[in-house]
Each structure stands twice: as C-alpha cells, then as structure tokens.
Amino acid sequence: MPIMPLPQFEADLEQDRIDAEAYARLSIPKTMVVRFGLMKLIGEYPYDGTAKPGCGSKIVVRTHRGTELGEMLTSTCPNAGCSKSVSRQEMLEYIENSGGQDYPFFTDGRVIRVATIEDMNEHSRLDSLRPRMVRFAREQAAYVNLPMKIVDAEPILGGERLTFYFASEDRVDFRDLVTELSHEFKTRIELRQVGARDEARLTADYEKCGQHCCCKQFLKVLKPISIKSAKTQKATLDPMKISGRCGRLMCCLRYEDSTYDELVKRLPKMKKRVGTPQGVGIVIDRQILTQLVLVKLEADGTEIAVPVEEVTAPEAVTPPPASDPLRGMPAREVERRSQPQRQAPPASPSAPGAPNRNPPPPDRQRDFRDRSRQEQPPRQQRPSTPGAPPPQQQRPPHPQRPQSDQGTPGAPGSPQPGGGKRRRRRKKGGRGGPFGGGGPAFGP
C-alpha cells in the first residue's frame, strides 16, 4: 500500500527546514545571561564553547558560589536581531528599571559547558536529598534550642557549598548548629536568614490569580508596599484578599501604582465645584480607570457622570438654553397656541336693567368709579323750618377709658349705670315754636 504524503506533515517539515537554516546562519554567542540557584539569581558570563545553545538550555556555570546548573535566558551579542536574543544595552536598561543596584546581577564567573545527561541526573539526585537535609537541620536546631525555622536547603552541583535558609525574628547565634551540620554533610555550610517575602519565594507555588507567585517567577527586588496603594486602587481592604502567600500586601499592588498616581492627578478633587455641559455642580465621586466624575448639579440636585475631558471651571459654564414650552404637544395644539389671540368684539348696548355679561376689567371699573365721584355735584342741605333749631353737629365718639381708670358709680365724672354721659333732653316745641313762650306763633 503506497504512503501518500499529508499536507499537514509537509507543512511541518517545511517549518523545521526553515528553523534549521536560521540556526545554521547564527554565530556562536560570546556571552550568555544565565539564571541559577533557588533564589533565581541572574548572571552574565562569557562563553567559549563550540555549541550554539538556545533560550532555555541547561548550562553548567562557574559562579561566585561554585559549580552550578543554570538556565540560559538569552545571549547578549550581535545576534540580537534573531528575535531570541537581546543586546547588552537592553539588558542593562531592564536591570536599571527592575531595581538598579539592588538587582541580583553577577558577572564573576564563566560558562563551562552545555549540560549533559550526567549533569542532569546528578542535579536530580541532589534535589531528592533536600527534604532529608531540611529535616535533619530542624532536628539539630531544636536540639540546641535555637529560635529559628529552617525553610529550605540548597546543594549545588559541584558540592563546594550547602546553603540553609532560615527565618527568625531575632539574631541567632548558630555556631553550634553549623558545626553539627558540617560534620554530617562533610562540606562547607552557609546559613542565610530570609524574611517573609523571601520565604514565600522559596516555598510558595501559585497565587490567587492562578499564576506562579511573582517573587518566585520573575520579581527580584521586593520593595515595601503601603496600604495607600490599595486605597488608591479602590481594592478591598480585607486582609485576606489583599495579602499574598507571605502574609504581607501583594506585590502586584505596586505594579500599577505609578499609573494610578498619574490618572488621579487628572481628576478634580472631591467636594470641588466644577462646571459641566449640564451646569455647575459638586464632585461627589470619581472613577480612576474610566476617568469619569460623578457630579451633583446645583440647579435640581441631579447626579450625572461626566468624562474628565468635559469638566471645566464653573465660570466657563454657559447657561443652558430655555426649554421649549410647546415641546411634546400635538401639532393641532401647537398651531392653536402659535396663532395670535383674537380681540373680543365690542359689547352691544344692553337694555336698561339687564346684567352686563361682559364686565369691564377691574382697572377700568376703578377709573370709572373715581371719575363718577368727581363729577357728582355736592348734596344740597334741606332748608330747615322757620323757628326750628339748627341741626346739631355729630360729636366724635369718646374713647372708652380702660377698666382701671373707671371710678366708683356715682362719683363725679364717672359713667352712670345706664351707659355713658347723661344727655340733655330736648324740650318739645323748640324755641319760637307754637307751644313755646318765645313769641307769637303766627304773624302780627
């Protein structure tokens, strides 16, 4: 049965052929950037071998601690254009941005060879011995009664040194412990004290986000983090949610801290009076990432969300246009209200005594009443009968005295029980009348 070539297999072979040609064109790197040790230290070492290792290759290097097995990260050489290498200038910029002088970068050493199968097997054997080393060191620390916690042990490929990492709150005199450990393992012993973050770097694996811990994966310089970063980013202040495996604030809070600081500077402060397209208002809330401002308008108390680009000074706000009173009305109603009002026809003369159905306005009534009073002639007094007494003038009413000023009844000047002052009685038949004695009632 003949074998027919499949298109997918042919495409894979073509890609392999292209990669082989690209690899053949590369020159041997002169220097390598290598990562080594449990603490993921970084070093740049010269290389004089004949092989052309790629990124991720296992390399045997001679460091300041001894012979170790490391991992090649990249090469710093003229091959930087192959998309798998970086130039030395790019590497130095990365180190400067990642911590500067605090970055664990070493140049004292060299690359010996590309790791062989024997080197890999020896490294695996040493890794399998680490739990027993840690257990023995903890037993000896408890035996000599030292307040310390052995975190991990790190043997190296050459066997020149065995490093133990421990955590303690105080300084510890561990000279007796070093003697016991060196007698047991027959090599040079080094005890290194680490903090809570470095302990998490050695022992932790995954974080809440599902990724490897930043301190274990790539973060080399662990700078302190304040609670202000969590408040600025409006993260929850629950310690269980913002704390990492080390029990401290998570390192990722510092990644966007500078970005948040720049965005906060663009937003107006809380309780500040600002101008918006809808009018002047007071800032009551802010959204940093979306760059939105929640403003409460002074006119009607409405709360609106305004982009920061539309926020202006209160003096620059123009008053909104007047609302259309005819908006939303039917077309027939708008046409009726738009036409000028017709004047009422003049009222026809009505019969005397008939009610006026169209009374004049109040102002006209008042003018007509005033004009009528001015035109009305004064009343003529009726002539009195000859011999009749002249009409008496009405006296103004006497104001009543208060109760405290009234005297006792019968006293002079006090009011009588019947009312006010006693009035004089007019005599019947006045002076000169028919029954009076003033003179003849009829002529001579």
3-state secondary structure of 436: coil
Q: Does pLDDT of 69 surpass 90? A: yes
Q: Are strands 31-36 and 279-287 parallel, antiparallel or unpaired?
A: unpaired
Given a contact cutoff of 8 angstroms between Cβ atoms, the answer to whether 297 and 284 are in contact is no
How many other CB atoms are there within 10 angstroms of residue 42's CB atom?
Answer: 20
Q: Is 181 left (phi over 0), alpha (psi -120 to 50) or beta?
A: alpha
Of 217, 295, 195, 202, the C-alpha closest to 35 is 217
Catalogue all structural domains in the chain, each as residue range(s) with its CATH number: 9-115 (no CATH), 127-194 (3.30.300.20), 201-263 (no CATH), 267-316 (2.30.30.140)
- Residue 109 pLDDT: 92
Classify burial at 250, counting beta carbons within 10 Å of its beta carbon; exposed 0-12, middle 13-18, buried 19 or more. Answer: buried
pLDDT band at 185 (very low <50, low <70, confident <90, very high): very high
| Chain segment 21-66, per-residue pLDDT in tens | 877 777 788 888 899 998 888 899 999 888 888 788 899 999 999 9
Q: Which residues make Cβ contacts (< 8 Å) with residue 422, sequence separation at least 6? A: 416
What is the signed CA dihedral for 87, 91, 93, 96, rounded to 10 degrees? -160
SS3 305: strand
pTM, two decimal places? 0.58
Q: Report the phi/psi class of residue 410: left, alpha or beta, with left for phi > 0 and alpha for psi in -120 to 50.
A: left
Confidence (pLDDT) at 347? 53
Per-residue pLDDT tens digits for 110-168:
999 999 999 999 999 999 999 999 999 999 999 999 999 999 999 999 999 999 999 99
CA distance 290 to 306: 11
DSSP 19: H
Q: What is the pLDDT of residues 294-341, one digit of tens each?
A: 999 988 889 999 999 999 988 887 766 666 777 778 888 888 877 765
**Residue 371: left if φ>0, alpha if ψ -120 to 50, beta else—which one?**
alpha
> By C-alpha distance, which of 61, 71, 38, 41 is closest to 162?
38
DSSP letter, residue 150: E
> Is 310 within 8 Å of 295 (Cβ atoms)?
no
pLDDT at residue number 405: 45
- Whether 404 shows a pLDDT value over 50: the answer reads no
Q: Report the alpha-carbon distance of residue 441 to residue 13 in Å, rounded.
A: 165
Model confidence over 331-376: pLDDT tens digits? 888 888 777 655 555 555 555 555 555 555 556 667 777 777 776 6
Strand partners, 34: 43, 72
User: In Å, how far from its chain's centre is CA 261?
Assistant: 12
Assess contact for 201 and 216: CB atoms under 8 A. Answer: yes
Return phi, psi of residue 142, to 5°.
Answer: -70, -30
**Residues forming a β-bridge with 209:** none
CA 430 to chain centre: 105
